[in-house]
């Protein structure tokens, strides 16, 4: 209902949030298509015009009547329910700046406003067939009918122009262009000018658009242009009859009977052969809605909607012979794709076949793995294949030809491990014989869905009955009770080294860092039960399941709020018509993060999710209250609605216009003053109430998208139901008086007893309150002491790791705000094990306590000193000194300290220090955890090359992929040119010698 749209600004913001990528930014083949015709409720398949009103409804003019669409259902207006539409042949639609809907038919002009249709006449006469309408910036609506008319401020008048037929209008600033049979004219400043005359028979302007270089004109003789005062065929060289000419932002759409062309400026972006598309037909109208969707009206196939988002589908049109894709593997500049036709490579746009299916053990490639030297392992539905890096040699393993290969992994010793539904196999280097490992490892399971080797060279196995891990010596089943018996479909190692397990029907779980598992389940708000692939990206966690893809904030891995954003929704009644049939399969290689996009296999080719195109805004639907029925009568909405008739059966009809995923809308409503709780519904967009009592109520309704977002603002309709005689106030007063007379006697007898009981109860409450206050004071004191103990190391009195977890965010925030990097030092006592071995642990504890006291003396109050573990300490300086000077003082103080055990040891007590600055001066992409790992790597270099020194490593700007750099040793980092260093003299000398030796 138009007049119920109370907040157009909020609605506009909602629309902007719904679409991350405007349709104008994509070529036609990459747009997601949806088609509606008479099967879905359209009155007729010939859609001649489309518009959108301020409430968000899409209006469709057909040759069989008018339809209003909210994304859920069409409401049809024709001769059966609207007298003014007895002639269903409509010609044009226009929504005015004032919010009116103007409808042009073959014999009249109609206005729709506030749920009412009204014919607009000229001196009491119908205006005749309305061919076109256009509105200028002053709110004047020009109407091409039997005469050229103007609608302004509720008045219809005739424009004084020559009586030539007008078939097309274009308002451009204060200019109005008029096109008709054989001519082009201009109306400006109250004057008419004939600018071009074309005597050619049959030449007619049907549509016009304005471009930077002039006017483009659609005619039966092709596309023409008016430029520099001259009329000529357009540069686009389209000679066929132009049925559609539409300007959409930077895009120009031109449709003929045979093809649809898309231009950006003079550049031809795409050509679509309409004869090859069974769902397009002849395109005769177009519209861009506020959501950024592109709408086409077909002469033969109904209403079409095209949208773009962060996803793109690459299938048969991109040279993939078969659309069923099962496995993906990153391979440098290309993406390997396993599908029903063997092995292909994808370059970002097109597919190229790499291995013919006849050369493989089976034509369906189900899993992939690529070694560092380029060797490819391809698991199929029936067997395993080893493919050379140049794709010229294919080796099959006949012993596995009967088995589906679910996953492939490699350990550091070069052995290949193969997960199947018939056991776990190993292939040693230089061996051609798969070895069944299930019995020798003591695995109770024989069906393996996924396999992973982590950074510690541990082997993780996912089965239909939980997960296992093998460290090379011992096999252990993950003993978490919520994972026992669960189908594990996905395993990955997170950036911080923790393992994450995805499951079927139970969400996912990840290591909590304390020996247990943290679970994220559908009950906590996951949009789907299943996880078949998860990518950890800088835009959050991208999670694929059998019904689509969604995104979670990475904060969920550290205890943050679970906030889901739907990316692909392939569930429910719209999955087959507005989805991508994603995602496909379970096991290894069921997704890939490549070139800034997440790629996923589907039953309709390859699906990509462009991380840069994802929107962080949450779509919030705008609810509209459409109708209230009392009994069988529709009542106009009023503030408030007063009902005084006998019937108290009410039906409230509501909706929320949405043209993507409308079936995932959830509504909740209540009759405030009557309902105690909200009632939640999905497809049913009505609320029914029968035999309501008298009183004042307010009907309230909200909406949200299933699986994401918050409830929308409440839309309310106050109403009053007048009371019947026996519901009047005086009647209830009389009943109350009679009841009071009956109970008065007994009330007097019980009054004194109740007073005594009340006094006794008050005494008891006072006593219990005093006891409770004392207990609360004792509990507060104990909690305060427990909090202090939880962040303090018992031996040294220093802060512990738990303290850093509590203050790290604040430390990093201050560093960013002050634009001053932190100085982070990892300090480790040298030869501390020998101190314990020679003098005992009591002496070792004394050394640690003495070192803690020394460090306290060296540091300022603003510095953070933490016992990191064992003999290792972490120092964080917020107001840092010059690093080299501080490190010199530190090393000197340790060397000069009068250690209590100095005379009892055959060596001097010293320490090794690894140093970094954070945020890293020339590289802001490193996280705190990665920077700390870099300091630990520097510490390890000092410990293994002489000890008693320090080393500071700094990545330069090009060292952005932190995880891959951290897998290298210090010498490799420095040789790469991606890191610089500063160290104590002996450490620097040794590094220079090693670098010089490595360079020879």
Residue 680 contacts residue 670 (beta carbons within 8 Å): no
**What SS3 class is residue 206?**
coil
426 band by pLDDT with thresholds 50, 70 and 90: very high
Give pLDDT, residue 8.
42
Residue 77, domain member (yes or no) = no
| Mean pLDDT, range 316-322, rounded to an integer | 89
CA distance 837 to 843: 10
Pick the last residue of a domain from 613, 646, 662.
613
What pLDDT digit, counting tens, does each position of 591-634 carry?
999 999 999 999 989 999 999 999 888 778 999 999 999 988 88
Mind spelling out the 3-state secondary structure of 806-825? HHHHHHHHHHHHHCCCEEEE
| Higher pLDDT pick, 12 / 396 | 396
What pLDDT digit, counting tens, does each position of 439-456 carry?
999 998 889 999 999 999
Tell whether 560 and 598 lie within a shared domain. Answer: yes
Percent of the chain with pLDDT over 70: 96
Give pLDDT, residue 435.
96
Percent of the chain with pLDDT over 90: 64
Tell whether 549 and 658 lie within a shared domain. Answer: no
Give pLDDT, residue 775.
77
CA distance 119 to 126: 8
Give pLDDT, residue 576.
58
644 band by pLDDT with thresholds 50, 70 and 90: confident
| Higher pLDDT pick, 5 / 198 | 198
Tell whether 533 and 646 lie within a shared domain. Answer: no
Residue 81, domain member (yes or no) = no
Tell whether 467 and 565 lie within a shared domain. Answer: yes
User: Residue 566 above 60 pLDDT?
Assistant: yes
Tell whether 439 and 478 lie within a shared domain. Answer: yes
Residue 90, domain member (yes or no) = no
User: Residue 19 above 50 pLDDT?
Assistant: no
Strands, DSSP E only, in 244-403?
A: 244-248, 251-255, 259-264, 267-273, 283-288, 294-298, 302-307, 311-314, 325-331, 334-339, 342-346, 351-355, 365-370, 376-380, 383-387, 394-396
22 band by pLDDT with thresholds 50, 70 and 90: low
Strand bridging mode 949-955 / 911-918? parallel
Residue 231, domain member (yes or no) = no
CA distance 54 to 4: 10
Pick the last residue of a domain from 705, 727, 749.
727
Please give the positions annotated as active site: 871
Tell whether 708 and 609 lie within a shared domain. Answer: no
Residue 53, domain member (yes or no) = no
Tell whether 850 and 769 lie within a shared domain. Answer: no
Give pLDDT, residue 573.
59
Q: For Cα atoms 598, 497, 333, give the angle at the middle one, nearest 5 degrees.
A: 35
Report the chain's mean pLDDT, rounded to a whole number: 90
Pick the last residue of a domain from 702, 727, 752.
727
Task: Assess whether the previous peptide bond of 583 is cis (omega < 30° from 0).
Answer: yes
Give pLDDT, residue 3.
36
**Helix, strand, coil share (%) of the chain residues, nearest 5:** 25, 40, 40
Residue 191 contacts residue 203 (beta carbons within 8 Å): no
Residue 149, domain member (yes or no) = no
CATH number for the domain harbouring residue 973: 3.30.70.270
User: Residue 728 above 70 pLDDT?
Assistant: yes
Tell whether 718 and 756 lie within a shared domain. Answer: no
Q: What is the DSSP letter of 921?
A: T
How many domains is the chain partitioned into structurally?
4
819-848 CB burial, b ≥16 within 10 A, e <16: eebbbbbbbbbbbbeebbeeeeeebbebbb
What pLDDT digit, counting tens, does each position of 921-934 carry?
767 778 899 999 99
| Higher pLDDT pick, 964 / 491 | 491
Residue 467 contacts residue 501 (beta carbons within 8 Å): yes
Tell whether 455 and 487 lie within a shared domain. Answer: yes
What pLDDT digit, counting tens, does each position of 23-81 carry?
556 889 888 899 999 999 999 999 999 999 999 999 999 999 999 999 999 999 998 88
User: Residue 403 above 90 pLDDT?
Assistant: yes
What pLDDT digit, counting tens, does each position of 124-177 carry?
999 999 999 999 999 999 999 999 999 999 999 999 999 899 999 999 988 999
| Mean pLDDT, range 744-773, rounded to an integer | 83
Tell whether 863 and 750 lie within a shared domain. Answer: no
Residue 393, domain member (yes or no) = yes
Give pLDDT, residue 235.
87
| Higher pLDDT pick, 40 / 746 | 40
Q: For Cα atoms 207, 211, 214, give the angle at the middle one, nearest 5 degrees.
A: 85
Domain of residue 671 covers 624-727
CA distance 264 to 286: 17
| Mean pLDDT, range 485-493, rounded to an integer | 96
Give pLDDT, residue 656.
95
CATH number for the domain harbouring residue 643: 2.60.40.10
Rounded alpha-carbon distances, angstroms, from residue 7 to 190, 196, 628: 37, 45, 21
Tell whether 558 and 450 lie within a shared domain. Answer: yes
| Mean pLDDT, range 357-382, rounded to an integer | 96
Tell whether 529 and 395 lie within a shared domain. Answer: yes
Residue 929, domain member (yes or no) = yes
Residue 263 contacts residue 277 (beta carbons within 8 Å): no
């Amino acid at each position: 209902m138009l007049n119920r749209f109370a907040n157009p600004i909020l609605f506009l913001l909602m629309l902007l949030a719904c679409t991350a990528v405007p349709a104008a930014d994509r070529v036609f083949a990459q747009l997601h298509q949806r088609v509606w015709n008479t099967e879905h409720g359209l009155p007729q398949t010939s859609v001649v015009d489309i518009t959108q009103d301020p409430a968000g409804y899409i209006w469709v003019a057909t040759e069989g009547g008018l339809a209003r669409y909210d994304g859920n259902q069409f409401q049809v207006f024709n001769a059966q329910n609207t007298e003014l539409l007895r002639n269903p042949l409509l010609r044009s639609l226009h929504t005015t700046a004032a919010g009116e809907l103007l409808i042009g038919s073959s014999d009249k002009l109609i206005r729709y406003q506030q749920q009412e249709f009204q014919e607009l006449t000229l001196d009491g006469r119908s205006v005749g067939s309305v061919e076109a309408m256009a509105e200028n910036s002053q709110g004047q609506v020009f109407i091409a009918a039997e005469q050229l008319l103007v609608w302004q401020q509720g008045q219809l008048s005739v424009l004084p122009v020559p009586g030539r037929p007008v078939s097309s209008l274009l308002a451009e600033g204060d200019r109005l262009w008029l096109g008709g049979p054989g001519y082009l004219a201009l109306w400006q400043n109250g004057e008419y000018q004939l600018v071009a005359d074309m005597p050619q028979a049959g030449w007619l302007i049907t549509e016009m658009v304005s471009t930077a270089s002039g006017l483009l004109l659609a005619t039966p003789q092709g596309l023409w242009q008016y430029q520099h005062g001259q009329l000529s065929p357009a540069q686009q060289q389209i000679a066929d009859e132009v049925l559609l000419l539409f300007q959409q932002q930077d895009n120009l759409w031109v449709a003929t009977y045979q093809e649809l062309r898309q231009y950006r400026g003079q550049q031809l972006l795409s050509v679509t052969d309409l004869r090859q598309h069974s769902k397009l037909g002849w395109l005769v109208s177009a519209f861009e809605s506020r959501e950024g969707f592109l709408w086409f009206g077909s002469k033969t196939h109904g209403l079409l909607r095209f949208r773009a988002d962060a996803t793109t589908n690459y299938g048969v049109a991109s040279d993939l012979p078969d659309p069923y894709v099962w496995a993906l593997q990153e391979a440098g500049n290309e993406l390997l794709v396993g599908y029903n036709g063997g092995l292909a490579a994808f370059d970002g746009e097109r597919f190229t076949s790499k291995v013919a299916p006849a050369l493989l053990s089976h034509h369906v490639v189900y899993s992939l793995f690529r070694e560092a030297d380029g060797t490819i392992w391809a698991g199929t539905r029936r067997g395993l294949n080893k493919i050379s890096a140049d794709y010229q040699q294919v080796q099959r393993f006949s012993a596995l030809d009967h088995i589906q290969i679910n996953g492939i992994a490699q350990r550091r010793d070069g052995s290949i491990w193969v997960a199947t539904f018939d056991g776990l196999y190993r292939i040693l280097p230089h061996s051609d014989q798969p070895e069944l490992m299930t019995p020798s490892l003591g695995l109770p399971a024989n069906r393996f869905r996924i396999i992973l080797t982590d950074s510690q060279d541990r082997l993780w196995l996912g089965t239909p009955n939980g997960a296992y891990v093998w460290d090379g010596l011992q096999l252990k089943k993950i003993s978490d009770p919520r994972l026992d018996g669960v189908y594990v479909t996905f395993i990955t190692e997170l950036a911080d080294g923790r393992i994450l397990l995805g499951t079927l029907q139970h969400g996912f779980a990840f290591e909590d860092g304390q020996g247990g598992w943290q679970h994220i389940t559908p009950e906590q708000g996951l949009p789907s039960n299943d996880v078949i692939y998860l990518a950890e990206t800088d835009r959050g966690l991208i999670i694929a399941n059998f019904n689509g893809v969604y995104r979670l904030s990475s904060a969920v891995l550290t205890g943050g709020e679970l906030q889901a954003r739907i990316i692909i929704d392939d569930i429910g009644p719209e999955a087959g018509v507005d989805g991508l049939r994603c995602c496909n399969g379970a096991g290894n290689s069921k997704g890939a993060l490549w070139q800034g996009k997440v790629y996923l296999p589907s039953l309709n080719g390859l699906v990509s999710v462009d991380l840069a195109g994802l929107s962080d805004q949450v779509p919030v639907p705008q609810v509209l209250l459409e109708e209230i029925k009392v009994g069988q009568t529709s009542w106009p909405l009023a503030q408030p609605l007063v009902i005084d008739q006998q019937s108290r059966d009410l039906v409230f009809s509501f909706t929320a216009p949405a043209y993507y995923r409308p079936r995932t809308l959830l509504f909740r409503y209540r009759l405030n003053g009557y309902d105690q709780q909200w009632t939640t519904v999905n497809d049913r967009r009505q609320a029914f109430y029968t035999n309501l009592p008298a009183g004042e109520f307010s009907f309230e309704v909200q909406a949200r998208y299933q699986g994401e977002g918050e409830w929308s603002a409440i839309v309310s309709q106050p109403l009053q139901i007048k009371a019947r005689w026996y519901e009047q106030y005086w009647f209830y007063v009389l009943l109350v008086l009679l009841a009071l007379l009956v109970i008065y006697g007994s009330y007097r007898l019980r009054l004194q007893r109740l007073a005594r009981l009340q006094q006794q109860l008050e005494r008891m409450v006072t006593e219990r309150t005093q006891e409770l206050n004392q207990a609360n004071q004792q509990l507060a004191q104990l909690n305060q002491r427990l909090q202090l103990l939880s962040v303090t190391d018992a031996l040294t009195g220093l802060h512990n790791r738990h303290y850093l977890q509590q203050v790290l965010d604040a430390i990093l925030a201050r560093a960013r705000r002050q634009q001053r990097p932190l100085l982070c030092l990892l300090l480790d006592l040298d030869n501390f094990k020998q101190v314990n071995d020679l003098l005992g642990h009591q002496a070792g504890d004394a050394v640690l306590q003495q070192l803690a006291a020394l460090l306290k003396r060296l540091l300022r109050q603003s510095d953070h000193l933490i016992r990191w573990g064992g003999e290792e300490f972490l120092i964080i300086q917020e107001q840092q000194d010059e690093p080299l000077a501080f490190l010199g003082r530190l090393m000197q103080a340790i060397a000069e300290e009068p250690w209590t055990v100095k005379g009892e040891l055959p060596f001097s007590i010293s320490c090794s220090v690894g140093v970094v600055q954070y945020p890293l001066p020339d590289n802001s992409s490193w996280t705190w955890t990665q920077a700390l790992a870099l300091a630990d790597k520097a510490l390890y270099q000092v410990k293994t090359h002489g000890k008693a020194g320090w080393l500071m490593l700094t990545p330069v700007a090009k060292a952005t992929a932190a995880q891959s750099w951290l897998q290298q040793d210090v010498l490799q980092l420095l040789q790469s040119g991606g890191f610089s260093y500063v160290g104590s003299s002996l450490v620097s000398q040794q590094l220079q010698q090693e670098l010089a030796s490595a360079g020879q």
